Each structure stands twice: as structure tokens, then as C-alpha cells.
Structure 1
């Protein structure tokens, strides 16, 4: 690398994160192909573009939509944006994307607002020309960051996974968002036992699942640790498992969680990537899923636990309220407080999110542990989305 490039990279890194985002997304919006006007009918090939090989929530959502569309009799062309948007490392066995056919049709772009123009640029002008563009967005706060504004000019329609998200995305002069929930998960656990996972066979097992690289503050594992400690102290027969990954990218936000977990001998931190079927196995062995999140756009882990028939103890606010329909769901009360996120993603002073009632959560955990009937498997799958109706191809 030349001295000029080295200096340029250093100067770029010295800019505030907000300035870097604005410069990057502004440049992409200028370079991106313009969507067709008036809105095309959408007749023609269906394309699903997104992070189809990324180990992220957005990647998992895109993969699930791809599979569900196929199950519904549609034949979407997969277009993987993982590498173009630097969302790696990629899943090694992911289905490769394909070239987007030119001409009329519909592209469902499974990336959030600020990234949408960049997504269209990665797909290419010829691929985008003449097509109807549907953006599939998810967000966890009742206020959108300013840099989402560019996404509205880069799509004709918006799909949202929950009522909460649809209300956030509604904007005068743009068609009302359509609620298209994630498809219900189909459990597929591997044969791993508790012993294989390094967990005690006879213990009451609470499970908290989150990606530390996304936002530790939003997922709020500290509240799960506190609720578990209030409910059970350090009882070795009552174990809390924090299943996470990406702690090395969480910065200072991870240290308080690691310190809190280390103070309790019955809290286990499982910091590693698990193949999808092994993660299903871990969920199957849990007695309860605990998610004292501060905000969710949807709540994939909650839907997965319900599909396995596991009880769920979760904050009763935001997008997860759409998901918590199963017989074993226990909504925890909350108060709304200013959103503060050391990792920066959700640090918006004008926005508020939920602070779960830890004492109430602890009482629910004790009740589930003391009453075996509350742990009887009660599998519940959410209704499948009607993609054909949502697409509403005209003409």
C-alpha cells in the first residue's frame, strides 16, 4: 500500500463514525441506479437479494424467506450481497447466488434502509432496470436514524416483519408498509446431548441467545444474569447459558457481561459459532428461553423456542409482541428509558426502549422451575406469510 493510501486510510479512520456512514451511504446513493417510475407491475422473474451467506440475523431472515418462497411454489432467483456489503465471514455451505435476469420483474431486497442504494448498485443497472423494488426492512427502535431516508427513494414498496416495524417505517408520500412476518421455523435439531454440549444433564437450564457484535445493550444479557441470580442465587442445579458469538467485536460493551457472568458459578458463557442444527439441539435441551431485550424488530429466537415447545420469558415490548403467541410465552413488564448503546448502533438520544422488570422475570423463572407442568413441550408455529398476496403483482 502506498504512503498516500496509508495516509488516506488513517484520516478516514479518524473521522467520527457518523461522518463515515454519511459519506459512504451518500456516495452509494449517488452512484446507485434509479428505480423505475412509475412503479412497474412487477410481472416477470422474482429475485430475492440479501445477505444469503452471512452469519447474521439479516442473513438468517433472508435465507428463511428464500426457503419459504420456494415452499410456497414461487421460484425466486437468489442474489447474494454478503461479499458486496462486507458482511462476512460467510457460511461455507451457503447456496451461491445467481445472476439477476434483465428485464421486468420484482426484486425483494433484504437489506436495511441505509444499505439499499448500495444493494442496488451491487446488483447492477441492467438487473434493476424496469423492475419493481420491494425493500424488506427490520429496525428495533421507534425512531429511524436520518441515514435511512435514502432507502425510500430506492424502492417502490416496503415489507416489515412486525406491526412495530411497519409503524416505524410509515412515511407520508410513500405506500404504507406491508407486514410480512418471517416464515415459521421448522425445528431440525442435531442428536447432540446435553453432555455433548458440556451441560449438566439434571439441571434446570435457562438459555439466552444473542450476537454480541450486534448490540449487547439491546439484547441486554446483563438483565438475564440478574434475573437468574435473583431467582436461584448460585444454585448449581439452576444454570443460565449465554449462547453468543462475536464478543471480540463488541468492544468495551462485552466486559461488564463477562464480569457479571464470572461472579456466578451457575452462569455458562458459550462464545462460539454453532452449526444451525446444533443450535436447535441446544434450544431443545433448554427448559426456558429468556430474552430481556430492550427492543426487537421481530424475535427469531423466540419463534424458534416456541416451535420447539419451550417456555419463553421475554420483554413485552416492540416487535416480539407479534411473535409471543404460543401457550408457553410469559411477557415481562417494562418501563421505557432513553436508548443508550455503547456500540453506537442504537445510541439515539431522542429514542426510547424498554427496561424489563428483572424482579418480575425472576419470579416467572422460579415458577417455571418449580412447576414441571409449565415445562411440558407445547410446540406452536406461527402462521406462514402469504407471499403471493404480499407481492400483489399487477397486470
Structure 2
């Protein structure tokens, strides 16, 4: 184990104590510095080029497959594509602390903590890839074809992450939005491998289970505090809700689901200052299984995402699949699987970020959703049943067409086949 990883492991063990003494933002900054320090000499590292015959044909999928986060779910969706392909694969469960809970067991049967195959598919974002390289070891990179599977939300890319490209032969992403942006920063191949979205739900997780009222038209917005409250913009959803409905309206409600309780308590304090006497806003803060999260999405009436940027927008896609109409900012990767027929697409203005919000830098750009338009959509979905049913039906049909498993499998097998063919 590298010294950097050992330090982060110690930080993770002490996290319940540290977060009471040190702000989460500062802990994240320390983590970034630890990784950046270890990455300085990586551009000088010589990785032995790909030798297809040096190892068995197959995929070593590397990343945090057990994590109860969006990144963890992303890796599991990639694993599902591999599971439906003709390729042999195994999972190396690699986790960079500190972070959230890791309770998902969906692919425990594929975890071997080995890398016997000739292609590495490394589901570790560029911010943490240098540490993964140092910790897993250069031997796992040597003579293999190394593919990074990355998520990123903006058009600009942090310069301190550029050395991560040196560790890879090419990059895959789940959206053309990310791929186009990354191509500006590297001459290495960048391909799009979209998810085949699934959303298993269980009727046992109903409104009673979540302590939500049965007789109200409920809107839901959801975010992981680790992804940044500012990017997900729950305050925009609250402001739209307030514009759409007055305090006395007891026929509606807004549900806010968040993870990571250390930060969520501070987020709730911030949000409560914006409520202006509204008592029909409900907080759900505990970490839930993926099935429970899907079931929550299914048992509300509308999902709202006035995000400023998305690398994919997985929960929006899941909501569409579950038959929950979506109100969403009409910018970034989610526009690849939704349109004005299948969702309520909210106009926006592109704005510059005014101060550093790690990992996003001052001067980078993202979207500011039109809150008044979002409020009008909220009101119409609540009051116009025909409009509601049209969006619900169109969403399911559109998302199923856009995220077919066979399409993702075909893209994967075609690209992997070409990699081997080019190096015969």
C-alpha cells in the first residue's frame, strides 16, 4: 500500500471525529493535495506498451463497485454491460477514502481483487487515478491496454488532472457531452459508452415507508452532498416550488433526498433559511439501498433537477424509466436521453462560476435554470392531468429507446474488437 493511500485510510477511519472538528470542504482539499503530491512525477513514468498475448483476453474492471454513490452505480452499470457481453471479466474493488458508505453487494460474486486479463477498464476519475496507479501498482498497467472510464460535468477541465491522461491508452465516458469536452484536452482516443439504464423498485418501499403523505402531489429532488450542493442546485428547486405554490397549499409537497449525514446537517440548516414558513418540505437524509432510492423516485409524482451541470444525469433517466415525469435543466449530458416531448426541459443562461467550488474553478461555466419556467411546469403537471400523462408515457418510451442494452453491448464489443485487431 502506498504511503498516500495509507494516510487516506487513516483519514477515513478518523472521519467521524474529523468532520466534527474540521469542515468537510477542508478534508476534501487535504485529500486532493495528497493525491496531487503523489502525481507530480507520473508523467515521467514509462508504462510498458500493450502486449495482447501477455495475458488472457478479457477485462479487469477496476473501481469502487460497492459504493452507495452515483460513481458506484455508474461502475455497476458498466459491469452490467460486461455481464451481457461475450467478454470474460473480473472486478478489482478499488476504493479511495474518505468517502461514503459501501454496502452494495450486487457484484460481490465477480470481485476477485486480481487483474489477470489483458485490458484494464479503470472506473476511477482523473482526480484519483494517480493514487490508483501508485496503489494498485505499475505491474497492473504494464503490457495491458488501459482504458479510463471517466465522468465530468463541465466543458472546462482542471489542468492539475491532465497527467492522468498519461496513465491511459484511451478514455471512455457515458455521454458525448463529456467525450467532446475531453477531446479538447488530449490527442488520445475518447469514446462514448452510454449506460443501459435499469431501475429495479420494490412496492414495499412506499410513501408509508418514507413517512410521506399519501394525499399530496409530491415533487422530489435528490443529490449527494459529496457531488456538491451548488451543482445540483436544490435551492433552485425550492424557489421554483415556492413560486408555483403558496404556503397555504396543502395539496402539494417537496421531498429533498440527500446522502452523507456529516454534510447534510449543514445543508439542511442552509436550506431551512430559504423555506419562508413552508412546512410541506420533507427531508430524507439516510443512506438507502439502490432499490429503495428507485422506489422513492417511483412513489412521488415528479422528479425535479434544476442542475447546473451533469455528466450523465442517471437519476433523471431512472425516473423516466419508472414513469415519474421529470423537470430538468436543458443543458449538459441529460439532453442526450430526454427532449421537450419526453420531459419538461427548462431554459437556462450560461454563467461563469464566480468563485472556486472544488473541483470547479472560478471562471468555468455552467447553467442557471429559469426558475420561473420550472415553477410553471410544476404548476401545470400538478393541475393538468392530460399533460402529466403525456409526459409520463413519452418519458418511458423515449428512455427505453435511448438506453437499450444491446446498443451499449455492441459499442463495447466493437471497440474492444478494434483494439485487438489494430495490435495484431
TM-score range, shorter chain: 0.7 to 0.9
Match of 2:350 in 1: 336
Q: Secondary structure at the match of 1:189?
A: coil
Match of 1:240 in 2: 254
Q: Output one character per residue of 1:102-130: Cα deviation in whole Å (capped at 9) or x when no partner.
A: 4x611111111121122223322332221
1:58 to 2:86 alignment = no
Q: Secondary structure at the match of 1:393?
A: helix
8 Å CA contact 1:180, 1:390 repeated in 2 = no
**Unaligned residue ranges in structure 2 (runs of 5+):** 1-6, 12-17
Which of residues 274, 297, 319 in structure 2 aligns to 1:305?
A: 319
Whole-angstrom CA distance in 2 between matches of 1:195 and 1:253: 25
Do the aligned partners of residues 261 and 301 (structure 1) sit closer, same or farther apart at CA in structure 2, a change above 3 Å counting? farther
Match of 1:72 in 2: 85
Match of 1:155 in 2: 168
Match of 1:320 in 2: 334
More deviation in 215-224 or 384-393? Answer: 384-393
Q: Secondary structure at the match of 1:345?
A: coil
Do the aligned partners of residues 304 and 262 (structure 1) sit closer, same or farther apart at CA in structure 2, a change above 3 Å counting? farther
Alpha-carbon shift at residue 267 of structure 1 (Å): 1.1
Match of 1:280 in 2: 294
Do the aligned partners of residues 186 and 19 (structure 1) sit closer, same or farther apart at CA in structure 2, a change above 3 Å counting? closer
Q: Secondary structure at the match of 2:134?
A: helix
Alpha-carbon shift at residue 93 of structure 1 (Å): 3.5
Alpha-carbon shift at residue 351 of structure 1 (Å): 0.4
Alpha-carbon shift at residue 355 of structure 1 (Å): 0.6
Which of residues 382, 388, 392 in structure 1 aligns to 2:413?
A: 388
Do the aligned partners of residues 29 and 100 (structure 1) sit closer, same or farther apart at CA in structure 2, a change above 3 Å counting? farther
Q: Secondary structure at the match of 1:44?
A: strand
1:26 to 2:47 alignment = no
Whole-angstrom CA distance in 1 between matches of 2:44 and 2:70: 27
Match of 1:49 in 2: 62
Q: Secondary structure at the match of 1:153?
A: helix
**Unaligned residue ranges in structure 1 (runs of 5+):** none
Whole-angstrom CA distance in 1 between matches of 2:141 and 2:203: 40
Do the aligned partners of residues 130 and 311 (structure 1) sit closer, same or farther apart at CA in structure 2, a change above 3 Å counting? same
8 Å CA contact 2:42, 2:163 repeated in 1 = no
Whole-angstrom CA distance in 2 between matches of 1:252 and 1:99: 37
8 Å CA contact 2:39, 2:163 repeated in 1 = no
Alpha-carbon shift at residue 213 of structure 1 (Å): 2.7
Match of 1:257 in 2: 271
Whole-angstrom CA distance in 1 between matches of 2:185 and 2:205: 51
Q: Secondary structure at the match of 1:290?
A: strand
Whole-angstrom CA distance in 2 between matches of 1:151 and 1:159: 13
Do the aligned partners of residues 188 and 71 (structure 1) sit closer, same or farther apart at CA in structure 2, a change above 3 Å counting? farther
More deviation in 225-234 or 30-39? Answer: 30-39
Match of 2:306 in 1: 292
1:199 to 2:212 alignment = yes
Do the aligned partners of residues 92 and 363 (structure 1) sit closer, same or farther apart at CA in structure 2, a change above 3 Å counting? closer
Q: Secondary structure at the match of 1:45?
A: strand
Q: Output one character per residue of 1:202-259: Cα deviation in whole Å (capped at 9) or x when no partner.
A: 2111110111232000000000001011111221211110111225226865532232
Whole-angstrom CA distance in 1 between matches of 2:44 and 2:76: 25
Aligned pair count reads: 383
RMSD: 2.9
8 Å CA contact 2:308, 2:329 repeated in 1 = yes
Once the two structures are superposed, the pairs formed by residues 216-227 of structure 1 within 5 Å of their partners are 216-227=229-240
Which of residues 64, 88, 101 in structure 2 aligns to 1:89?
A: 101
Match of 1:366 in 2: 379
Which of residues 345, 365, 371 in structure 2 aligns to 1:352?
A: 365
8 Å CA contact 2:35, 2:128 repeated in 1 = no
Once the two structures are superposed, the pairs formed by residues 117-136 of structure 1 within 5 Å of their partners are 117-136=130-149
Do the aligned partners of residues 20 and 99 (structure 1) sit closer, same or farther apart at CA in structure 2, a change above 3 Å counting? closer
Give the helix-richer structure, 1 or 2.
Answer: 2
**Following superposition, which runs of at least 4 residues in structure 1 exceed 6 angstroms of deviation?**
13-17
Alpha-carbon shift at residue 277 of structure 1 (Å): 1.5
Alpha-carbon shift at residue 39 of structure 1 (Å): 4.5
